[in-house]
Copies of this chain bind each other. A is one copy, B any other.
């Protein structure tokens, strides 16, 4: 360790722990009257947001919540949830954002594992909790969330309804200072194997993530993410990696926010139109659903910028969006990474091209954002060349990565090898530092000593005009180690045979895009491809079914 000159470690006034409460300073200061909307139901100002956060802190404290406790939330995407993003960590408690799409068994597993003390639960999710009530171990009380005049009847032991509790609570809460390394949030990853694993983030980590996100995304030449005139609407759930952290950044900048509640495609498109939304983040599936609505055809979307993540942004989707005027960007990250690691970065020259010609750059995983180190490494941990061809596992260092998995230190050690967080993603890196994710390391098909990307193959199969979707997994093969196997769904009314698909792939062999051993000789046509709770292809299930 270098012998630098170190500031006095005493608790002096100049020391300023990084706390989530500081993210709430500037937004209401810039724009006290700026609006926060709950779909087409209600709206309030930033001034009211601050008052409600103070009220919520008092209400939670009245309900027995202490610093260090864990408070869980099961809600749709609402301003209530935004209030929880702030109030719960700001009193020193841990916010557990429950993934409401998990099975009831998995939900109760995560609640017990996180040791939830209090749970805020929307009427719509009461049946889930009532069904597993006797398995819930640590919860002392529930607070009900409702979008009706009165909360639903329930057999759960509740402390009251959210709005009623807030209206009775004091309007001033003296939020304490504490160690910036205090845990602020926790939630569970939705892997396809084993139990969900808990990741967790500190106040310091969330503040740094917010600051870096604000700088890097606000600096986009064409992308009005976080400027005074921006309008933000999340379209990835708030339980999922802090809605990618954008609610914190948007609030810090004081911009208009629209929370859509449930993701009903027609409603989402209506809100886009009504509020002239300029920035959203979204997974491809939901984007496809929105683009399939009738009402989107009459929307002016030329000012809507969308960060796509969760699954790869395909050229087809990006092109279709461009035809509607939608500007899409790829963002890359994961539950373990808070999440932002990299995003599409367009130079002024790129932007001079017609939107349709920008797709090539927009579908790549982009360039690492400020403060993030990304490398691609071989199985021995050695960096592979940045030539756009060589594939390696993506490893990263950054100030906002989960320390471990909660109460599973051995899995945490596996995550952190050699001082880098191992993402489990396989990617190539171009000489201009653009990352392209090729596959999950466990989904890569190891055939004949080479790594074949299942994602690449799915993309190419999907370009056949009759194909709606494709899933490719590796199946054991005595001679080659593994061989690709494809599940294919066709568009309504279309037909195609295995030979048609193989012939279609042959053109990519001829053009040098893939090797001839990439063409699968095993293929099945199905009505539906198995998906996980967050809409990703469930390759584990496909492999299990093949056994």
Contact = CB atoms under 8 A, between A and B. Distances in A.
Interface of A: 1-9, 12-14, 16, 18, 22-23, 25-26, 29-32, 66-68, 91-92, 94, 176, 178-179, 181-183, 202, 207-208, 211-212, 214-216, 218-221, 224, 226-229, 249, 252-253, 345-348, 367-373, 397-399, 401-404, 416, 418-421, 432-433
A214 B216 CA distance: 8
What is the copy number of this chain in the assembly?
A: 2
Contacts of A26: 216, 367-372
Contacts of A1: 176, 178-179
Contacts of A416: 12-14
Given A4-B178, A178-B1, A368-B29, A398 B214 contact: no
11 contacts: A3-B92, A6-B181, A6-B182, A12-B403, A12-B416, A26-B368, A26-B370, A211-B370, A215-B218, A221-B224, A229-B348
A25 B368 contact: yes
Contacts of A5: 68, 94, 182-183
Given A348-B229, A399-B16, A4 B211 contact: no
Contact of A4 (B12, B92, B347, B432): B92
A68 B29 contact: no
Given A2-B178, A25-B372, 5 more contacts: A2-B176, A4-B183, A25-B373, A215-B226, A219-B226
Contact of A228 (B18, B252, B348, B373): B348
B30 A345 contact: yes
B433 A29 contact: yes
B219 A3 contact: no
Nearest to A342: B29
A401 B6 CA distance: 15
Nearest to A401: B14
A14 B181 CA distance: 12
Contacts of A348: 228-229
A179 B4 contact: yes
Given A14-B403, A227-B220, A416-B13, A22 B371 contact: yes
A226 to B, nearest CB: 5
Given A26-B368, A371-B211, A66 B3 contact: yes
Contacts of A370: 22-23, 25-26, 211, 214, 252-253
B218 A16 contact: no
A92 B183 contact: no
Contacts of A219: 214, 218, 226-228, 253
A92 B2 CA distance: 7
Contacts of A66: 3
Given A221-B229, A227-B220, A370-B26, A4 B214 contact: no
Contacts of A252: 215, 370
Given A7-B181, A7-B183, A215-B218, A347 B13 contact: no
Contacts of A212: 211
A221 B226 contact: no
Nearest to A202: B7
Nearest to A22: B371
